Chain A
Amino acid sequence: MGSDGETAGDRSAALRAVGLSKIYGSGEVEVRALSDVALDLYAGEMVVLLGASGSGKSTLLNILGGLDTPTTGSVLFEGQDLTASDDAGLTRFRRDYVGFVFQFYNLIASLTARENVALVTEIAPDPMDPEEALAVVGLEERMDHFPAQLSGGEQQRVAIARAIAKRPKILLCDEPTGALDSKTGIIVLEALESVNRELQTTTAIITHNSVTAAMADRVIYLADGRISRIDRNASRKAARTLAW
């Protein structure tokens, strides 16, 4: 674990990407979002992906989570090639192993916080109770509120509770604090930190905010669809000590 000083290199890769490329459109309007990206995510580590807009962060994350498919290359999860899976295989992968947190929460407006979490626990093989998941993010008091009755930070914590309630192997967060002020953002990051620590969930966070990088085991920089640099932090900073 990052906190007790072990290096990530000692652990096996939870998710391995080999030679990933993603090309949108064709001909004149062809856009190369990813070019030949290779990356290992190790079990239990926390990585932060940094990069400018259009650098390919989201595309990479979506492909790693089975939300999208690469044009070429493959993603290996527990030795299996996800890119060889059909839609049903990818669906199973997401259902059983992956949690997502999006920048704009994507809560179902017509369901309460608890029900939004239940939406995921009902189809997962070994979930926690929705109440338990909401307690992890400190929202046990507001379980029966509808999204419209919650603040932005609270909504994002519901989204995190929803993502972790299935006890995912991998938690993928796309700009989880992007729509939040710094105080609320830190509360959200604390929630992610505790999930990573307590559940040993491999966590990847996309952000624009380089301050966030300090809480990661590794920081991966992307530019123009390629990994330009990977930094390893000697030690992780606690989220509550961050400020921006």
Chain B
Amino acid sequence: MVGRALDRKLLRDLWRLRAQVASIAFVIASGIALLVMSLSAVEALRESADAYYERCRFGNVFASVKRAPLYLQRRIEEIPGVQSVQLRIGAQAVLDLEGFAEPLMGRLVSVPEGEQPILNRLVLRSGRFVAAGRTNEVVVNESFAQAHGLQPGDSISAVINDRKRELRIVGTAMSPEFIYVLPPFALVPDKARFGILWMGRKALEAAYGQEGSFNDLSLTVLRDADTRPIIRQLDALLEPYGSTGAIDRRDHLSAWFVTNELKQNEATARILPTIFLLVAAFLTNAVLSRLIATERSEIGLLKAFGYSSAQVGAHYAKLVVAIVLLGIALGWVLGAVLGRISTGLYAENLNFALLIYRPGPSSFLIGALVSLAVALGATFRAVRGAALLPPIVAMRPPAPPVFRRRRGGGGRLRSWIDEPTRILIRQILRWPRRSAVTALSFAGAVGLMILSLQFTDAIDALAATHFGEALREDLALGFVDPKSTTVLSDVERLPGVLAAEPMRFVAADLSSGYRTHRGAVIGVGADSRMTRIFDVERGPLPVPPSGLVLSESLADKLGVRVGDDVWVRVLEGERLLRSVQVANVFGSYIGTAAYMDIVALNRMLGDRPMVEYVNALIDEDRLPALMARLKNLPAVSTVALKHVAVASFHEIVAASLMVFVGFFSAFSFALGFGVTYNAQRIALSERGRELATLRVLGFSRHDALYILLGETLLLVCVALPIGCVVGWVLTAIFVNASGFQTEMMRLPLEIQASTYGLSVLFLLLASLVSGAAMKRQVDHLDLISVLKTRE
């Protein structure tokens, strides 16, 4: 029974304040929605990846060899912990599609004719599997087919073992092995320029002379089996057959990228919404305290009637809870819908064959609890402030603070500032705390906008450094086998090639103590002008005559510094093990590279000088002729054009990272608007009487509006530079957050002037737009009621 009248007041207050209720609820909702969206999307992606791997029986261990006999299968199966073994033939090939100027790269993978492979099963998307006895049939991966509009029935030519062959596409498929379709030597997937071709085993055996043998292996292990001893035994078994070393699923190229991508998304999903939620919480706090402060006289009145502070507090808590619940409900729905959409977008980018969106309750609860706690905290403080006053004091408007006239300042102020301006300046100066909180909430909104928008800057800076400073070649050519250095002059003679430099790429395990990294040592010439060791702060570094130059992330991973020794186990040939000193460490945004002088590398390997890659500068005008020539060079297995890599880097990064970032930007802009709208709305309710009185005294509508908006605009102007600093700090927190820096990539702290400018402009615009909404209210101030009743 108690509180029925109060509850009715509550409902009517909510309705009376509906515009503000809506905008506060939206501020709360945006924080929660982002949290729910991000966390549930990450959760869904992880679940989807696991389910995909499970359903398609994605291998746990992978290995490739030069050529090994099929009868090893039984011995591999006998390794304790091994469940199933799949022996395949795989090869790299240059593809030629009519109507596409560049040569494309392809990976050929053998499959049993007419049926699913036992491991790494395919998800057939159209057509059928290759039929027995048809040596020219292939199934291609769906994303490649889509990129070129290929359908079952179309054909594609490939240079297979030095012979150009016409292949017929009979189906399209997806596979857990190729979620990330990454061309060799590329940074990001390239759907159009790298295709997977599943071909009948017999056809590949014949083409590569691999009858009775295999060169590619994958196996699954029993549940909970440790892969490390299995890999050791497998390596021992396969070593005589030219194995480059077995790897765990963790290090499988596609799976590694998926893991990294998920890790990065997860870090983004944790850090960004957390920052966002906290800033939103601060804004909620600021807005609610001010809202309740305007109810001060009602609080006093209720207290005068004999309502206890607790009862009054409970009443306002209910008001706030109602607003927050509205925000939570809105945030949940919005978050779940956006979570589903963004999971879908990701799954599409990542080539997931299936998608599970089944968000758990945790993200929903975290968002709701944080928002509720913050809002109630703000309410508690604000109500307490009013309830602790003797009721009669609370019922009166707060006593104006003593305004101290600075010596001489008052006179000067008077001489050149008009009356309305003086009113608004004094309003700010007399309530410095409230002005500061308002300005800070504007700054917070600007900061969030900057944080959201800087991603584009960071990605651009990263690409500019990586492609513009470190990898300066126009073209990288890879060969089927390592070539002698004479290939350099062959490449130089190709049409359009202006200069060529050699590069070695030697697969190796780098280790220090118990830490190991499976990667490669890249050999570059001491005078290399194309591939440079580029430190993001110090610029290009010289290639030392001996020793390794590690990227910072690799040095961190191995826990080594300049001067330490690293064990390098080469994963090919004689599988040498050498201790090499770290000569230098360079800061890099991308990857885990290890460079070495090519001469020193050759000496260490004891080889005659060889090259796996040739970098080249080319004449753009003669590109078509060069491409046409490369399509028919059987020795070339990789053609990587830099401008293509740059474009696909932007495309892929834009498609994946920008899914979240797009939503974040939208929300931060909405938040900016919500904050300015609320600030002006509350200023109006605080100043309504005063403005009406001024109107009665003969000030114009324009003057009244000027006093109301002037205060907000002045605070906005104060807030803008602070907001830029806040944005920088939030970004710094974000890019340095340990979770966000993965082996694959770390974002530079790079904010363009235009990002600051855009955020600043938007907040100004938002305050002008919400100011326009205030104009109507100011025009309709009730002048009569002011004269009749007291405050």
Residues of A within 8 A of B (CB): 29, 62, 65, 67-69, 87-88, 91-96, 98, 100, 103-106, 108, 110-111, 115-116, 118-120, 122-124, 152, 162, 179
| Contact across chains for B308 and A62 when beta carbons are under 8 A apart | no
B4-43, CB < 8 A from A: 4-6, 8-9, 12-13, 16
B404 interfacial contact with A, CB 8 Å? no
Residues of B with C-beta under 8 A to A179? 788-789
| Contact across chains for A110 and B301 when beta carbons are under 8 A apart | no
The docked-state distance in angstroms from the alpha carbon of A147 to that of B388 is 28
Given contacts A62-B392, A87-B309, A123-B307, is CB(A108)–CB(B9) below 8 Å? yes
Residues of A with C-beta under 8 A to B13? 110
**28 sampled A-B residue pairs with Cβ under 8 A:** A62-B390, A62-B392, A65-B304, A67-B304, A67-B392, A68-B392, A87-B388, A88-B308, A91-B303, A91-B309, A92-B306, A94-B303, A95-B307, A100-B305, A103-B790, A104-B790, A106-B301, A110-B13, A115-B9, A119-B6, A119-B302, A122-B1, A122-B2, A122-B3, A122-B4, A122-B5, A123-B2, A123-B307
A174 to chain B: closest residue by CB: B392
Number of A-B contacts (CB under 8 A): 84
A130 to chain B: closest residue by CB: B5
Nearest 7 pairs of A and B residues by beta carbon: A95-B306, A110-B12, A67-B392, A118-B5, A94-B306, A119-B5, A62-B392
The docked-state distance in angstroms from the alpha carbon of A202 to that of B2 is 27
Q: Which of B297, B305, B388, B391 contacts A123 (CB 8 A)?
A: B305
> Closest approach, in angstroms, between the C-beta of B243 and any C-beta of chain A?
81
The docked-state distance in angstroms from the alpha carbon of A98 to that of B5 is 20
The docked-state distance in angstroms from the alpha carbon of A111 to that of B298 is 12
Bitwise, B389-408 to A at CB < 8 A (1) or not (0) is 01111010000001000000
| Contact across chains for A123 and B311 when beta carbons are under 8 A apart | yes
Residues of A with C-beta under 8 A to B393? 68
The docked-state distance in angstroms from the alpha carbon of A92 to that of B307 is 8
> Closest approach, in angstroms, between the C-beta of A146 and any C-beta of chain B?
9
Residues of B within 8 A of A (CB): 1-6, 8-9, 12-13, 16, 297-298, 301-309, 311, 388, 390-393, 395, 402, 788-790
Given contacts A111-B5, A119-B9, 17 further A-B contacts (CB under 8 A): A29-B402, A65-B304, A67-B391, A68-B390, A68-B392, A68-B393, A96-B306, A105-B789, A106-B297, A110-B16, A111-B12, A115-B5, A120-B306, A122-B1, A122-B5, A123-B306, A162-B305
Residues of A with C-beta under 8 A to B2? 122-123
The docked-state distance in angstroms from the alpha carbon of A62 to that of B395 is 12
The docked-state distance in angstroms from the alpha carbon of A108 to that of B315 is 14
> Closest approach, in angstroms, between the C-beta of A61 and any C-beta of chain B?
9
Residues of A with C-beta under 8 A to B388? 87
| Contact across chains for B789 and A119 when beta carbons are under 8 A apart | no
Residues of B with C-beta under 8 A to A123? 2, 305-307, 311
| Contact across chains for A104 and B305 when beta carbons are under 8 A apart | no
Given contacts A68-B390, A104-B789, is CB(A91)–CB(B8) below 8 Å? no
A65 to chain B: closest residue by CB: B304
The docked-state distance in angstroms from the alpha carbon of A67 to that of B307 is 12
Residues of A with C-beta under 8 A to B402? 29
> Closest approach, in angstroms, between the C-beta of A151 and any C-beta of chain B?
11
The docked-state distance in angstroms from the alpha carbon of A115 to that of B789 is 21
Determine chain B's interface SS by DSSP, over half rule: helix
A58 to chain B: closest residue by CB: B392
The docked-state distance in angstroms from the alpha carbon of A115 to that of B304 is 17
The docked-state distance in angstroms from the alpha carbon of A100 to that of B300 is 13
Residues of B with C-beta under 8 A to A111? 5, 8-9, 12
Residues of A with C-beta under 8 A to B307? 91, 95, 123
Residues of B with C-beta under 8 A to A96? 306
B12 to chain A: closest residue by CB: A110
Q: Which of A62, A103, A110, A124 contacts B306 (CB 8 A)?
A: A124
> Closest approach, in angstroms, between the C-beta of A167 and any C-beta of chain B?
13
> Closest approach, in angstroms, between the C-beta of B45 and any C-beta of chain A?
48
Residues of A with C-beta under 8 A to B9? 108, 110-111, 115, 119
> Closest approach, in angstroms, between the C-beta of B481 and any C-beta of chain A?
85
The docked-state distance in angstroms from the alpha carbon of A152 to that of B789 is 10
> Closest approach, in angstroms, between the C-beta of A25 and any C-beta of chain B?
10
The docked-state distance in angstroms from the alpha carbon of A135 to that of B289 is 40
> Closest approach, in angstroms, between the C-beta of B161 and any C-beta of chain A?
86
Residues of A with C-beta under 8 A to B311? 123
The docked-state distance in angstroms from the alpha carbon of A115 to that of B12 is 12
> Closest approach, in angstroms, between the C-beta of B304 and any C-beta of chain A?
6
Residues of B with C-beta under 8 A to A95? 305-308
The docked-state distance in angstroms from the alpha carbon of A108 to that of B5 is 11
Q: Which of B3, B8, B304, B788 contacts A100 (CB 8 A)?
A: B304
B301 to chain A: closest residue by CB: A106
Residues of A with C-beta under 8 A to B303? 91, 94
The docked-state distance in angstroms from the alpha carbon of A119 to that of B303 is 12
A146 to chain B: closest residue by CB: B12
Which of A69, A120, A152 has the most chain B CB atoms closer than 10 A to its own CB? A120
The docked-state distance in angstroms from the alpha carbon of A124 to that of B5 is 13
The docked-state distance in angstroms from the alpha carbon of A179 to that of B303 is 24
Residues of B with C-beta under 8 A to A116? 5
| Contact across chains for B304 and A94 when beta carbons are under 8 A apart | yes
> Closest approach, in angstroms, between the C-beta of B200 and any C-beta of chain A?
80
| Contact across chains for B306 and A108 when beta carbons are under 8 A apart | no
The docked-state distance in angstroms from the alpha carbon of A20 to that of B280 is 49
The docked-state distance in angstroms from the alpha carbon of A91 to that of B313 is 14
B393 to chain A: closest residue by CB: A68
| Contact across chains for B309 and A94 when beta carbons are under 8 A apart | no
Residues of A with C-beta under 8 A to B390? 62, 67-69
Residues of A with C-beta under 8 A to B4? 118, 122
The docked-state distance in angstroms from the alpha carbon of A110 to that of B2 is 18
> Closest approach, in angstroms, between the C-beta of B623 and any C-beta of chain A?
75
The docked-state distance in angstroms from the alpha carbon of A98 to that of B307 is 12
> Closest approach, in angstroms, between the C-beta of A93 and any C-beta of chain B?
8
A106 to chain B: closest residue by CB: B301
Residues of B with C-beta under 8 A to A119? 5-6, 9, 302, 305
The docked-state distance in angstroms from the alpha carbon of A116 to that of B9 is 9
The docked-state distance in angstroms from the alpha carbon of A88 to that of B305 is 13
The docked-state distance in angstroms from the alpha carbon of A87 to that of B390 is 9
B308 to chain A: closest residue by CB: A91
The docked-state distance in angstroms from the alpha carbon of A65 to that of B303 is 12
The docked-state distance in angstroms from the alpha carbon of A88 to that of B387 is 11
Residues of A with C-beta under 8 A to B308? 88, 91, 95
A121 to chain B: closest residue by CB: B5
| Contact across chains for A106 and B306 when beta carbons are under 8 A apart | no
A93 to chain B: closest residue by CB: B306
> Closest approach, in angstroms, between the C-beta of B311 and any C-beta of chain A?
7
Residues of B with C-beta under 8 A to A152? 788
Which of B9, B311, B393 has the most chain A CB atoms closer than 10 A to its own CB? B9
